[in-house]
Structure 1
Amino acid sequence: MTVFDTRPAPPPLRGAVPALLGYAAVRALGLVVLAVWSAARDKSAHTLLTARWDSLWYVRVADLGYGYEVRLPNGDVHSNLAFFPLLPWLERAVSAVTPLSYADAGLLVSSLASLAAAWGIFAVADHLYGRRAGICAVLLWAVLPVGIVQSMAYTESLFTALAAWALYAVLTGRWITAGALSALAGLTRPVGAAVAAAVWAAAIASYVRERRALAGDGNRPPPFVWDGSTGAPHGTSVVRRALGMLLAPLGAAGYALWVGHRSGGGPLGYLDVQAGWGNGFDGGRAFARFVAGQFTSFPSALAGVGLVAGVVLVVCLYVAGVRQGQPLPLLVYTGVVVVLALCASGYFGSKPRLLMPAFPLLLPLAVALARLRTGRSAALVAAVAAGSALYGAFWLNGSGPP
């Protein structure tokens, strides 16, 4: 299989139409169920999607810029510097040219970005495993239990779109495009570092393979490195690859350094801002204590079992991706996303949402689903979509994503 194929490829939009239509149908179902559920509880679905939790912080950045903070009774400081700027910038730009408020502009950006993310996921899966697997991968991403977040004025859809297309650019040897998209992803969420790491890993792997080819090394390259049919790269430019590597970390690094300068915390000042929110990286110790604490009583023990099962499932899916022979950049990207999500020290209820951009975890399931008969796979997806819609409505009308 040719993974790092730098030959020109047509845009995959025409082949992606069934995937995008299916994705839109799943999201529409989730929104209808949310509207009905919210109305029954005398709540506004629109408010739940645009004006709660992180959405409010992004709107405040778009409206007033940075500098707002809330000091809690225990001394912790919640600063809006914790929120990366790309979504607020887009909210402000859309609001400037339309009658939409910042909140509604954020909802529009997220809606369009979710379609771009679905297209990008299809492009990656189609490139690697074929069109049916691409459609199935998109539908599986749509029916995630917390998939309703894809329709909120949050950054998950925007980040996933940028990450998916950056990975597709890497897989097709478009290094500058990959670096530019990685930089934008780094302006969207802290986990943008995962995209930059994938670009760097792919570039280094391709360089090593290229040196082996030039040296006449007859060893067969790993399946994630290059084209096994020719044993050599298709004229990849060293300059373009270097520029891609240079661009990739600029977004995340640039914003983090700016925050450190503005807050007076130096190069690591952004970590201090995150610490004010109770966030940090402790290798998963806090999360492990949280899970263990669920087993102190019978009702919460069920939640503890669910959390353990969820973590085991994530690990098993990652191992399945390795055995599947997923390309190195996908494995690096997914690994960093998973580690950062599971090993963060705060906001344990957000972990399913934080794992949403790790779409390559779904590829082994997508390939398996694609092997089923169309009627059987459609019925299975429809059933899961209904459950996801119900859970999303229940979740947003309850604890919701912090």
Structure 2
Amino acid sequence: MTQQQLAPASATVPVAEPGTGPRSRPARLRAAAPLLTALGLFAAARLTGVVVMAVTASMTGKNTGVLLGRSWDSLWYLRIAADGYGRSVPYRPGIIFNDLAFFPLYPGLVRALHTVLPLSSGATGMLIAWTASLAAAAGIYAIGVRLHSRPVAVLLVLLWGLLPHSVILTMAYTEPLLTAFAAWSLYAVLTGRWIWAGTLAALAGISRPNGFAVAAAVLVTAAYEVISKRGRNVSHRLWTGAALAPLGWTGYVLWVGFQRGDPLGGYFAVQRDWGSRFDYGVGALRVVRHLLFKGDPFVYPMTLVLVAIAVLLFALLIAERATPLPLIVYSGVLLLVALGGSGFFPSKPRFLLPAFPLLLPLALALARTARARPLSALLVVGALAGLSLAYGTYLVAFAHRPL
């Protein structure tokens, strides 16, 4: 990694011809065309998923709004938005579901918007998720352009929208919100905007439990900058951004700890009550052993395949020497949490949905293929689209597994 990858891009000021004035509107539209293309393709992919879900729901007597807006964790978030924290549900011996496990930003936004918009709470949750998905796609595009090129950036966004679990991006879930804050925080780090990076990392930290991956990326990159400069000429903005980054996640964890009478361990006790703990992958290995020797429903083998692909992509991301440090740290922490955590094995691909940098090697390879063999690239995208639509619909409408 070079200093150039971390420093702000130098501004390029276009020189206007005499009498032409500022850049014309057609020129601005041409400059924005790749971004609009990326967002359009992303929106088309996800809206097609919604249409397929709606058709499937109508054919099977299900309600599309319920499937997308009131499934699994969505119900917990909506209850928090309506009534605040305080719900605890015994599930089985040793397992107690407590709503303190859910971070507060998303239900807070649902509550705020629900009071001013003529929408149900589920529809409000989906509106937030859809808006955050587009904001995340724009941030992912900005990073792709920064690191490589516009075609690679467009493909990076499209691939993120065609992941097998991308149906989550149109549901009342928190992954879109986390990814939006993460993408723009990482972009701010890459361009040297440290205060923005820290502020967005703090917001990511109160979006989801694994949101601390963004703060980790900001802190590690800031430490690298300080060490590389030997502590000299370090901007106060860097120190401020680094100080802001972990505040969201640590603030909520400490608040839950105080609520439980154990400031440092209370939140983690809540997670253990859910059957979720960091056990260095022991629980995941037990599931793999079960799959190998006894078999299991379709979702579990598919989860195993997707997690294995994520590990491979992370190795390829590291092997790509041009990959900046913050993207490696961010993706690595998300992968570590997904692999090392016990419980909720089918949810691991969802936990990795915000790890969009893992798709960079695929986007680069697909861009090269598109230049040399456009039809082959189109077939690959079509196959991914078919898998995403079919598997996403199956997960939500038929699998009956926690997402």
Same fold (TM over 0.5): yes
Label 1:303 to 1:71 Cα distance change in 2 as closer, same or farther (>3 A). Answer: closer
Residue number in structure 2 paired with 1:5: 7
State the Cα distance separating 1:210 from its structure 2 match.
Answer: 2.0
**Aligned mates of 1:306, 1:72 — CA distance in 2:** 26
**Equivalent pair of 1:353/1:401 in contact (CA under 8 Å):** no
2:252 aligned residue (252, 255, 258): 255
**Aligned mates of 2:301, 2:383 — CA distance in 1:** 23
Query: Does 1:181 find its partner at 2:183?
Result: no
Residue number in structure 2 paired with 1:17: 36
Residue number in structure 2 paired with 1:246: 243
Query: Does 1:328 find its partner at 2:330?
Result: no
TM-score, length basis structure 2: 0.89
**Aligned mates of 2:227, 2:187 — CA distance in 1:** 21
**Aligned mates of 2:44, 2:286 — CA distance in 1:** 39
Correspondence 1:122-271 to 2 at 5 A = 122-211=141-230, 238-271=235-268
Q: Which amino acid in the other structure matches residue 63 of structure 2?
A: S
Query: Taking every aligned residue pair, what percent have the same amino acid on both sides?
Result: 44
**Aligned mates of 1:311, 1:207 — CA distance in 2:** 34
Query: Does 1:363 find its partner at 2:360?
Result: yes
Label 1:49 to 1:305 Cα distance change in 2 as closer, same or farther (>3 A). Answer: closer
**Aligned mates of 2:108, 2:353 — CA distance in 1:** 23
State the Cα distance separating 1:330 from its structure 2 match.
Answer: 0.6
Deviations 1:55-80 (A, max 9, x none): 00000111100111112341532111
**Aligned mates of 1:238, 1:318 — CA distance in 2:** 32
2:339 aligned residue (319, 322, 342): 342
**Aligned mates of 1:359, 1:9 — CA distance in 2:** 27
Correspondence 1:280-359 to 2 at 5 A = 280-297=277-294, 299-300=295-296, 306=302, 308-325=304-321, 326-359=323-356
1:79 aligned residue (77, 98, 106): 98
Label 1:311 to 1:100 Cα distance change in 2 as closer, same or farther (>3 A). Answer: closer
SS, match of residue 6 in structure 1: coil
State the Cα distance separating 1:400 from its structure 2 match.
Answer: 4.5
**Aligned mates of 1:152, 1:305 — CA distance in 2:** 23
Label 1:59 to 1:9 Cα distance change in 2 as closer, same or farther (>3 A). Answer: farther
**Aligned mates of 1:7, 1:171 — CA distance in 2:** 9
The total of aligned residue pairs comes to 379
State the Cα distance separating 1:397 from its structure 2 match.
Answer: 1.0
Q: Which stretches in structure 1 are left out of the alignment for 5+ residues?
A: 215-235
Correspondence 1:368-383 to 2 at 5 A = 368-373=365-370, 374-383=374-383
**Equivalent pair of 2:49/2:393 in contact (CA under 8 Å):** yes
Higher relative contact order at CA 8 Å, sep ≥6: structure 1 or structure 2? 1
Query: Does 1:110 find its partner at 2:129?
Result: yes
Label 1:302 to 1:270 Cα distance change in 2 as closer, same or farther (>3 A). Answer: closer
SS, match of residue 97 in structure 2: strand
Query: Does 1:34 find its partner at 2:53?
Result: yes
Deviations 1:167-213 (A, max 9, x none): 0000000000000000000000111111111001111111122239x
**Equivalent pair of 1:295/1:301 in contact (CA under 8 Å):** no
SS, match of residue 310 in structure 2: helix
Q: Which stretches in structure 2 are left out of the alignment for 5+ residues?
A: 13-27
Q: Which amino acid in the other structure matches residue 349 of structure 1?
A: P
State the Cα distance separating 1:13 from its structure 2 match.
Answer: 5.6
**Aligned mates of 2:247, 2:285 — CA distance in 1:** 33
Aligned-residue RMSD, C-alpha: 2.1
Residue number in structure 1 paired with 2:21: none
Q: Which amino acid in the other structure matches residue 92 of structure 1?
A: R
State the Cα distance separating 1:375 from its structure 2 match.
Answer: 4.5
**Equivalent pair of 1:294/1:301 in contact (CA under 8 Å):** no
SS, match of residue 280 in structure 2: coil
